[in-house]
Amino acid sequence: MIRKSGHRFSEKIMLHQKLMECDRFNLKRLRASQCDAREGRMPQVSFNAEPVPLSVDLDQAALVIIDMQRDFLEPGGFGEALGNDVSRLQAAVAPLQQVLAAARERGMLVIHTREGHRPDLSDAPPHKVQRGDPSTRIGALGPMGRILIRGEPGHDIIPELYPLSDEPVIDKPGKGAFYQTDLELMLRNRGIDTLIVCGVTTEVCVNTTVREANDRGFRCIVLSDCCASYFPEFHAAGLAMIKAQGGIFGSVAASQALLDALASGATA
Ligand code: TIU
């Protein structure tokens, strides 16, 4: 009998504790939502995308800017060494500047990547290095320093999109941003499940990264006008491949759709 009432008493205490926990939890949520409203934060936005419209929780999304480096966008770098007209990549710069500014304003996580290799080329596959004219290969000296080598002026990100000191920069030896980098660890540690992907080139490093991300369970949204290619037809095909078959690798949206949603406060 004593044991029974003792049991009931402890049950009551547990119930009371549970209710208090519940109250604390609800109070926390209420305070967070009041805080969001006061600070004008907008955790979720909805906007048009292909193949279907999207709703994104900004706290779980990161803007990932792929390889907007002088080596790809300016004359004398790796892009030109490969025989490309680098001026074609300029199309992505102005739209990306707007998206970057909006993401920073919203306090979104912004991650930049750079393709490049160690000065001793120990992380560069020989077949990648041996391609093309020896005078313009990876590691050769060009007007922006050694081509595609970490620490050289050409390897750095263009001034228009330069990272802030608290924005992670991922140095990657390959085309995909997940290969031999700590990008996945960073995203998982921060509870990120959605990547808004921009950068160059659409069909090479952007596509490779999106495919890697998709296989790892991240939702990818590629901003079409914030990506560019040396080949317009590859840009179009690169985007088409991502959004085809019900969004086999991810979604594609125009940057204005995202900017409008952020500006208008469209919530899901
Ligand atoms: N960043 C990236 O796309 N690297 C490339 O080599 N792209 C080419 O299109 N060549």
pLDDT of residue 35: 42
Strand partners, 47: 54
Mean pLDDT, range 177-181, rounded to an integer: 98
pLDDT of residue 17: 53
Quick check: 170 and 86 in contact, CB under 8 A?
no
pLDDT of residue 4: 45
Query: Is 67 designated active site?
Result: yes
pLDDT above 80 (res 136): yes
User: pLDDT tens across 216-248, in order?
Assistant: 999 999 999 999 999 999 999 999 999 999 999
Nearest CA to ligand 1 atom 4: 205
Query: Is 172 designated active site?
Result: yes
pLDDT of residue 152: 98
DSSP state of 125: -
Mean pLDDT, range 165-169, rounded to an integer: 98
Ligand 1 neighbours, Cβ below 6 Å, are 67, 72, 82, 115, 175, 200-201, 204-205, 230
Mean pLDDT, range 87-103, rounded to an integer: 98
Residue 112 in 3-state DSSP? Answer: strand
What value does the mean pLDDT of the chain take?
88
pLDDT of residue 39: 55
> Ligand 1, from 67, 70, 178: best to mutate by most atoms within 8 Å of Cβ?
67
Tokens linked to 146 = 């050694």
CA dihedral (163, 227, 75, 83) in degrees, to 10, reads: 140
Query: pTM for the complete prediction?
Result: 0.85
pLDDT above 60 (res 212): yes
pLDDT above 90 (res 23): no
Strand partners, 64: 111, 197
pLDDT of residue 11: 53
Tokens linked to 152 = 């050289």
C-alpha closest to that of 139 among 130, 152, 149, 131: 149
Nearest CA to ligand 1 atom 1: 205
Residue 215 alpha carbon to ligand 1 centre in Å = 21
pLDDT of residue 32: 41
User: pLDDT tens across 30-53, in order?
Assistant: 334 434 444 555 589 999 999 999
> In the Cβ-directed half-sphere of 219, how many Cα atoms lie within 13 Å?
14
Mean pLDDT, range 166-194, rounded to an integer: 98
Mean pLDDT, range 16-22, rounded to an integer: 47
pLDDT above 50 (res 1): no
